[in-house]
Structure 1
């Protein structure tokens, strides 16, 4: 049987959108550990946020995709180890015309208490969320026309914008799908065969990752508009979970593993 690797978004997918708990996913997490299947967390969260979560889930030995794919957290590490581009993002933001800059309010504009209020995180978690190396999440309050102008001006500096479940996130390139491809190649070189990639996510910034996987699972999230119909759903390569959050994640991962084991693919 081909090696399997699971790539998963966190907020609204493996973590409950409101409580940030992954308790409902414990049976599937246990199954992954039992079968020695790597779990690569892929989130807009920072390395400082993901490292303790990854350890609590029992997958500290696996790499993690941080800040929407702008960086990678190596196995058994609490550091990104790849420099920082955050200062460039903030400088590019501050160089924008005032009428565009005023429409975007990001983590660098907020203190810890405001980050906690806007995310629902406790103060210590909010402090970790503020330690950014590669991206700047924030809220957009302008019009769609202004957003296109904002996007165009930042793109001139190489900055892209990805829409997640809560925030628009700015980065200097790189996304979750890019990292899926690179990590899969690393696994292939170690195992000697291309791994079967299962990816799960709930928001628009997960679409490329879902489409890059052998099987993608859309986790419903009532808290936002979710993901529109994707082409891969026509042939079953992309499917939708029956339940939201970690409950849907648990059900989907267990079902997919059963299918893979049964079919031997």
Structure 2
């Protein structure tokens, strides 16, 4: 563990789509007051998303947190602060090869970003073409849509698990990857600090559950467009809360409340 006498009191770890970004417009404008307050206090924002490093680097810069690490492609990798993009896509190539080895009937039910043209990525995601190009530059994972039965999906996921590949359902996509989760990467980042800061994690989809439950304080952000998150154990004690407003509006309220509470308690 690295001792850092300037360690922050609080670290905010946040999902993007449907959480900090509006589900439909991808705007984070309603969260600007909380983001501004975080910058004033030196509270790091660790973006944690299924998005690529290429996508997150731009968002991180626009939000004013380029000095913070980010968790990319559902925890499959970490984007260091202010670092240039790395072009190594060997993990993604290995993942695509594993898909070719699946039974044809199961493979046919999964349509991933690599099966689509950039124009199709833009159409399916609602992203502008320039952003869709960045979304298609996968290094570690493969998001996609499942069109088969729930029973076939279980068989699909079991076949992938035998190859060391996990399938995690997000607000929009089923994302395939090797290894680590968002929660694992959050732990890696927090371990860099001594004393350990308080962690707050926010998300809206099943692939955020581990991160929300692992953090000191978790927030389930309201999102009526995806599968949602069932009641979590930490809600009974108030350690995990839910927003009453969706997306970045709810995110803004929750983060400002957490900051007010944490800094009031610590003086």
Question: TM over 0.5: same fold?
Answer: yes
Out of 247, 259, 264, the residue aligned to residue 262 of structure 1 is 264
Distance (whole Å) between structure 2 residues aligned to residue 211 and residue 258 of structure 1: 21
Out of 62, 73, 83, the residue aligned to residue 67 of structure 1 is 73
Partner of 2:3: none
Distance (whole Å) between structure 2 residues aligned to residue 176 and residue 105 of structure 1: 23
Partner of 1:248: 250
Over 6 Å off, 4+ runs: none
Question: Is 2:241 the partner of 1:239?
Answer: yes
Are the aligned partners of 1:2 and 1:264 in contact in 2 as well (CA < 8 Å)? Answer: no
Distance (whole Å) between structure 2 residues aligned to residue 5 and residue 131 of structure 1: 28
Gaps of 5+ in 2: 1-6
Mark the CA change 1:177 to 1:80 in structure 2 (over 3 Å): closer, same or farther: farther
Distance (whole Å) between structure 1 residues aligned to residue 47 and residue 234 of structure 2: 22
* SS of residue in 1 equivalent to 2:244: coil
How far apart are 1:2 and its partner, in Å?
Answer: 6.7
Mark the CA change 1:9 to 1:21 in structure 2 (over 3 Å): closer, same or farther: same
Distance (whole Å) between structure 2 residues aligned to residue 208 and residue 78 of structure 1: 29
How far apart are 1:208 and its partner, in Å?
Answer: 0.3
1:17-42: CA deviation from partner (whole Å, max 9, x where unpaired): 10011000000000000000100000
How far apart are 1:130 and its partner, in Å?
Answer: 0.3
Partner of 1:150: 156
Structure 1 window deviating more from structure 2 (123-132 vs 2-11): it is 2-11
Mark the CA change 1:254 to 1:80 in structure 2 (over 3 Å): closer, same or farther: farther
Partner of 1:169: 175
Alignment of structure 1 residues 1-265 onto 2, 5 Å: 3-80=9-86, 84-186=90-192, 188=193, 192-264=194-266
Are the aligned partners of 2:206 and 2:227 in contact in 1 as well (CA < 8 Å)? Answer: no
Are the aligned partners of 1:104 and 1:138 in contact in 2 as well (CA < 8 Å)? Answer: yes
Distance (whole Å) between structure 2 residues aligned to residue 48 and residue 200 of structure 1: 22
1:33-76: CA deviation from partner (whole Å, max 9, x where unpaired): 00001000000000010001000000000000000000000100
Distance (whole Å) between structure 1 residues aligned to residue 227 and residue 173 of structure 2: 13
Gaps of 5+ in 1: none
Distance (whole Å) between structure 2 residues aligned to residue 176 and residue 216 of structure 1: 13
Distance (whole Å) between structure 1 residues aligned to residue 12 and residue 88 of structure 2: 23
RMSD (Å), alpha carbons: 1.4
TM-score normalised according to structure 1 size: 0.96
Are the aligned partners of 2:8 and 2:43 in contact in 1 as well (CA < 8 Å)? Answer: no
Distance (whole Å) between structure 2 residues aligned to residue 82 and residue 184 of structure 1: 25
Are the aligned partners of 1:39 and 1:59 in contact in 2 as well (CA < 8 Å)? Answer: yes
Are the aligned partners of 1:71 and 1:82 in contact in 2 as well (CA < 8 Å)? Answer: no
Distance (whole Å) between structure 2 residues aligned to residue 71 and residue 150 of structure 1: 24
* SS of residue in 2 equivalent to 1:243: strand
Count residues in correspondence: 261
